[in-house]
Structure 1
Amino acid sequence: MNQIKKLLIIGFVWPEPKSSAAGGRMMQLISIFKQNGFEITFASAAQDSDFMVDLSEFGVIKKSIELNSSSFDDFMAELHPDVVLFDRFMIEEQFGWRVTEKCPKAIRILDTEDLHCLRTARQKAFKENRNFEISDLLSEEVAKREIASILRCDVSLIISEFEMNILKDVFRINADLLFYLPFLVDEMKEEEFLKLPSFDERKSFVFIGNFLHEPNWNTVQYLKEAVWPLVKKDFPEAVLEVYGAYPSQKVLQLHQPKNGFYIMGRAEDANEIVKKARVVLAPIRFGAGLKGKLLEAMQCGTPSVTTSIGSEAMHSVLPWNGFVEDNPAEFAQKAIALYQDENLWKQSQKNGIEIINVCYQTSNYADSLISMVNELLKNSENHRLHNFMGNLLQHHAYKSTMYMSKWIEEKNK
């Protein structure tokens, strides 16, 4: 009889699938491991939130842990997991050395969510009013930390093929340390497609995004200042509804009903809102990874207009479910055309469904993820032997991280 394998997930935050794409991604991972017989414990040092998912409903054990505390060591020794999944590189930095010390045989997986160094470098270039260059990554402080974390782990889950290429070509990361895993959704069947609201049953443009995420706040500012005035000029009756979790006062101040610009706050059910909208607008100017809001639009049969950053690595060579435009005037014109032309809208909707079925089907990736993990469990020694740079970083970098953490723990006493 096979022994039940234990997975420990150490979360940056407790999952909020209705607040962010990251929360949805985490629940996808939990579902795959659960379906393959893993016993899952989810641990986090984050505060509970009103919108966190009830992990017990998914058969997952919830455990609150402390930063810079040897109580985590006792927890690790007692749980003794077979696999540890770190949610973002900052969590690996904080807890990785403790995992290595107490459970050296446990497989260490990093879920990057997106490349933080790419997002940070693009944001800096944007704020400095210059074009982002790939070479910017080499001098980015966050890159040094993030790449070190990737090297220390047995494998890292990478959400974007563009980011896979950066890691291999720019940072020279061995492909054996990387596993491509995009967002995962079920196949969109024709009967589901036919149940979606029709062109005539939908109204309004919509934007949706978590406002704790800087690219989303910037997108809404840009919509308000640069894009929306151009839309209203040629389409006076247009209405834009902006939804998002955790809107700050500066977001709420953009609410301007007389101009058709509505700040709606948190969406109780984002899916229902996007299904009722006719077009999603997402003129994203910096960021990384895949955009959950744009995949959600495709699932809701809602065409979108976005930028090259927004659509990056999301649709392979397939036509977009709407338009990709970086120029605000063109963006506005394409948004209006998509909203008013039913034939164009229907074709764009079909494009989105094809993208879902070709690029994001769970069945294309779930089995290979579990196979990869099982292979690592069998051959971890050989795998680690060939990751010399990772071993070197384990030897040196963890010493400094370890002593810093121990110093903080002593200071806190």
Structure 2
Amino acid sequence: MNKTLLVIGFVWPEPNSSAAGGRMLQLISLFQAQGYAVTFSSPAMDSDFSIDFEALAIAKKTIALNCSSFDVYIKELQPSVILFDRFMMEEQFGWRVAEHCPAALRIIDTEDLHCLRKARQNACKEKRLFVLTDLFLEDVAKREIASILRCDLALIIAEYEMEILQTVFKIDASLLYYLPFLVPPIDAAAIQKTPSFEQRTGFIFIGNFLHEPNWNAVQYLKETIWPLLKKQFSQAVLQVYGAYPSQKVLQLHQPTSGFYVLGRAPNAQEVVQAARVVLAPLRFGAGQKGKLLEAMQCGTPSVTTTIGAESMCGYLPWNGFVTDDPDLFVTQAIRLYEDKFLWQQAQQNGFEINNKRYLKRFFEADFDAKIRFLIVNLAQHRSANFLGSVLRHHTLNSTKYMSKWIEAKNNGGLSTSL
């Protein structure tokens, strides 16, 4: 049996820059454990911070948008499984995969529901409550749902998003697969090495600034949360870390008020472990929050919002506090910072969440069985997905020719005017 996985990535994975990069490595490791040879391809520019592909036994291939060179490449490779990294890559390359590798299993990793994140962002900017019907107003929802339907399986990271896809968008459960972050257990030895309450100091926020919810959260911290917190706790210090900070992010740096914007962390785990409390007042977003799971792994309690904690802890108690009220957010942050017993209990809650919800061994065997089942029963699985076949048909007869037109135009074969 041919066991070749081709990942078509939106960007080259940077696990030290974003949770998305770590998530991609976790998915690749599942396939490698099943014996797959993995090639990671992307049309993105190379990054100095991407993984060492050779060290991880992953082949690397740069591909081009709207270019038939991809057709030649994929016909030669003939992968048995294609993994699209977010719906944008399925839009660009899905029709080419369907045409040249029709028997390949097509999987999409949504990362998070972009339409949910966008609808919540718009509601936040318009200072109103988000309601589920807002999803139908987003053009990105139509694109994202179409991509999910065109694929054989969609990997969904959050339980709430599984619910939305089935109840709001009426997607059949057979097309969806819940797969959260996959991490190792936190054992007694790891806990023993974790810095104590007394060895830690300061508050911290960490997050990639290319991700709009992170930038918005830091603005909210600077303008609303931090002035309230400093008024009650004058010696408080906050360190803000994150990859790819823009000039407007760096301009928030204000040491005189204890607000430090420090850019990319030299080692994310080290700086989070050195802090006493994580502050993550996320006002919109989707999926699971890698920064908050990382805080749990580092033994660092957190204060966050309902969106921050969404689909993270199930019925287990949070490793700190969850509130959307800024005054209560500040009160609870200070309590957590000063009360050693409360802090230790919150830390223990984080360890428990990690070990009861996210261990790789909870999911790898079932995922292996799911992939094997779909490969053996692919024809039957696709015949039951009529809407998907309709969308694939129209994509091959619309997106295909638009892409070919762009390629011809780029090659000088068409006039640049209409």
Contact residue 4 and residue 39 of structure 1 kept, 8 A = no
Contact residue 4 and residue 37 of structure 1 kept, 8 A = no
1:17 aligns with 2:30: no
Q: Which moved more, 1:218-227 or 1:29-38?
A: 29-38
1:118 aligns with 2:116: yes
Equivalent residue for 1:50?
A: 48
For 1:409 and 1:376, the matched residues in 2 are separated by: 34
Q: Among residues 367, 370, 373, which one is paired with 2:368 in the alignment?
A: 370
Query: How far did residue 4 of structure 1 move?
Result: 4.7
The one-letter amino acid paired with 2:229 is V
Contact residue 278 and residue 302 of structure 1 kept, 8 A = yes
Query: How far did residue 139 of structure 1 move?
Result: 2.1
Contact residue 306 and residue 323 of structure 1 kept, 8 A = yes
Equivalent residue for 2:415?
A: none
For 1:140 and 1:366, the matched residues in 2 are separated by: 34
Within 5 A, what are the aligned runs for 1:199-348?
199-348=197-346
For 1:123 and 1:410, the matched residues in 2 are separated by: 37
For 2:14 and 2:365, the matched residues in 1 are separated by: 25
Contact residue 15 and residue 53 of structure 1 kept, 8 A = yes
Deviation digits for residues 162-201 of structure 1 (CA, Å, limit 9, x no counterpart): 0000000000000000000001101111221121000000
Query: How far did residue 249 of structure 1 move?
Result: 0.5
Q: TM-score, normalised by structure 1?
A: 0.99
Contact residue 107 and residue 154 of structure 2 kept, 8 A = yes
In structure 2, the residue corresponding to 1:58 is in which secondary structure?
coil
Structure 1: 5+ residue stretches without partners: none
Equivalent residue for 2:194?
A: 196
Structure 2: 5+ residue stretches without partners: 412-418
Equivalent residue for 1:352?
A: 350
Q: TM-score, normalised by structure 2?
A: 0.98
Runs of 4+ in 1 over 2 A off after TM superposition: none
Q: Which moved more, 1:128-137 or 1:174-183?
A: 128-137
Equivalent residue for 2:64?
A: 66
For 2:262 and 2:221, the matched residues in 1 are separated by: 15
Contact residue 95 and residue 395 of structure 2 kept, 8 A = no
Q: Among residues 28, 35, 38, which one is paired with 1:37 in the alignment?
A: 35
Q: How many residues align?
A: 411
Q: Which moved more, 1:333-342 or 1:183-192?
A: 183-192
Query: How far did residue 325 of structure 1 move?
Result: 1.0
Deviation digits for residues 192-228 of structure 1 (CA, Å, limit 9, x no counterpart): 1121000000001000000000100000000011001
Equivalent residue for 1:170?
A: 168
For 2:289 and 2:409, the matched residues in 1 are separated by: 41
Provide the aligned C-alpha RMSD in A: 0.7
Contact residue 238 and residue 258 of structure 2 kept, 8 A = yes
The one-letter amino acid paired with 1:351 is N
Q: Percent identity?
A: 63
Within 5 A, what are the aligned runs for 1:61-140?
61-140=59-138
For 2:369 and 2:72, the matched residues in 1 are separated by: 30
Contact residue 2 and residue 80 of structure 2 kept, 8 A = no
Deviation digits for residues 72-105 of structure 1 (CA, Å, limit 9, x no counterpart): 0000100000000000000000000000000000
The one-letter amino acid paired with 2:293 is L
Equivalent residue for 1:161?
A: 159
